[in-house]
Amino acid sequence: MYIFIWIVAVVVCIYAIVKFIKYRPLTPFMPYKYNFGKRRITFRKTLDLLDKTNSKIIVETGTSRAGLKGAKGDGAATIVFGKWAKENGAYMHSVDISEESVRGSQAEVNAQGLNEYVTVHLSDSLVFLKDFKEKVDFLYLDSYDYSKDLEVQRLSQEHHLKEFMAIEGQLHENSIVLIDDCRLPNGGKGKTVIAYMLKNDWKILIDAYQVLLVRKGFKF
């Protein structure tokens, strides 16, 4: 009986340890209760680079429709980087073509007290990016949902390349680019745009579920 209890206790302890190891918060920047999972390493490095470069203008394609409730699922980037903008005198523009996504994101922006630092735009991202006039310090690409459908994969990859090319002229030597959902079948969202960037003076800093890139002459 005692042996059985001991075995159960060991199993419970192992389970707790494994769960703890897999739990990836962004503390102290974000509350411990939010698990950012596979995005934590790239989010943490990006936040560090934003600090070092004193970034002021952030542009995100594909807004965080679920807010912090989606921290582990979709990353809640609008809130994460919106919070950073608030604390560092920066400004964030998040654009999405879905009215439902914009409503959900705006509600969370309001709830987190970020309205003065984040604007959620309802627009086709390509139109928005082509018309954007300010220099962009940090570009986060996460639009056009990926799927198992090969045609959808191709269209998503092409769309992210088009987004980058639309805003490319507004990027500078110390701009930071983060692309979501890259470690997926057939190269994920970033496959085509990353290949383009690597041929055009960019380099990869982190190659994980998300890919973080800077220019080869990046100074920080």
Q: Is it the case that residue 17 has pLDDT exceeding 50?
A: no
What integer is the mean pLDDT of 98-123?
Answer: 97
Total count of domains within the chain: 1
Can you tell me the distance from the alpha carbon of 91 to that of 15, in angstroms, rounded to the nearest whole number? 42
Q: What are the pLDDT digits (tens) for 146-195? A: 999 999 999 999 999 999 999 999 999 999 999 999 999 999 999 999 99
Supply the CATH number for residue 190's domain. 3.40.50.150
Q: Is the pLDDT of residue 37 over 60?
A: yes
Average confidence score pLDDT of the chain: 91
Residue 68 has what pLDDT?
Answer: 86
Q: Evaluate whether residue 145 is within a structural domain.
A: yes
> Which sign does the torsion angle of CA 38, 51, 30, 77 carry?
negative
Q: Are 56 and 71 in contact (CB under 8 A)?
A: no
Does pLDDT of 104 surpass 60? yes
Provide the greatest CA pair distance for the chain.
72
Return the minimum-mean-pLDDT range out of 6-10, 52-56, 103-107.
6-10
Residue 220 is assigned to a structural domain of this protein: no
Say what percent of the chain tops pLDDT 90: 80
Domain that holds residue 192: 2-215
Mapped onto helix, strand or coil, the DSSP state of residue 125 is helix
pLDDT at 220 over 90: no
121 within some domain: yes
